[in-house]
Structure formats: structure tokens, C-alpha cells
Amino acid sequence: MIFIEKKLSLKIVNKKEELIFKKIFNLYFKEITKSNYFSSKVIKNNIDKIKINNGKINWILYKNKKIGFVVFYLNYKKLNTYIRDYFIYKKYRKKKIGSLIHKKIILLSIKKKFKFIKIDILNTNKKVIKFWKQLNFKKNGKSYYLKLKK
């Protein structure tokens, strides 16, 4: 399957979709922690934390079909975008979708006149580290950074 960039988009998760998002967020947590269960309280606390900190919860859409999500913060004080969570269903991985969506985040960040994009990655998640390194992110401390060109 070939994915066309024009048919990929980001859309804010609305109130009506929050229950669906919680289920997908639970799948994401299971995958990154290798745990089979998270209480609804843990999921709710994480989502509440995102909202309190003005995080942007977005669906990743292909032809208006939900194929994943990305959560990020726009930090106007430090002039950066912080990617908190990034998830694409397994059947859509390794098809360049992640890098195409990342381009959209770069364009948004440049439009905001930000200087860099930041992401934290679990050290045990070697495949994800490799993915972000391929997108030119460099490790600095516990985080990975992409310096944006002006």
C-alpha cells in the first residue's frame, strides 16, 4: 500500500471521540511498557495531565480513517515542540507514515518560529530510537532533539 502525503492529516480529538482515544491510548501504553493492563485511572490521569498542560491530542488520519495519534506540546517560552506520545497501528507502520506526519509537525513548528523539536524515548525502545535517529534527531541527555532551520 502506498500512502499519499496529501491524504494524511492531523485532526484534534474532540469530546465525542475521547472514549475511542482512551482505548487506543491504552493499547499504546501496553505496547510501550510491555504490560497487559492499565487501570482506567492511570489512563485518565495521563490524559488529564496532557489537557492541564495544554497538550494537543491529534488523530493521525489517512483518508479520514484513524490510524494512530500524536500528542505534542507547543512551548512558546522555550520555542520548541515537545512530542509526548506518537502511535501508529502496527499494520500501518514501516510505510513512511511516521516520517510524513513528522514533516507536518516540522512545518507547524517552523510556522511558530520554534528552534527545535524534542522527544523523550524509553531506552528499551530500540526500534523507535532508530526511527527518530533516521529523522536526524540527536540525543542530548535523556532526550532527542531536532534543530529546525530558519
65-88 residues labelled b (16+ CB within 10 A) or e (exposed): ebbbbbbbbebeeeebbbbbbbbb
Give 118's pLDDT tier (boundaries 50, 70, 90): very high
**CB 82, CB 118: distance < 8 Å:** yes
Tell me what the mean pLDDT of segment 23-38 comes to.
80
- What is the side-by-side order of every strand in the sheet holding 8-12? 8-12, 56-62, 65-75, 80-88, 116-120, 143-147, 138-140
Given this model, what pLDDT does residue 94 score?
A: 87
Q: Identify the bridge partners of residue 10 per DSSP, sorted by sequence position.
A: 60
Strand partners, 139: 144
Of 39 and 129, which is predicted with more confidence?
129
Q: How confident is the model at residue 38 (pLDDT cuts 50, 70, 90)?
A: low
pLDDT above 70 for 5: no
Which of 85, 81, 68 shows the shortest CA–CA distance to 122?
85
User: What pLDDT sits at residue 4?
Assistant: 59
pLDDT at 122 over 90: no
**High-pLDDT (> 90) share of the chain, %:** 56
Over residues 72-76, the mean pLDDT reads 94
In this prediction, residues 46-51 reach a mean pLDDT of 88
- Check: pTM over 0.75? Answer yes or no: yes
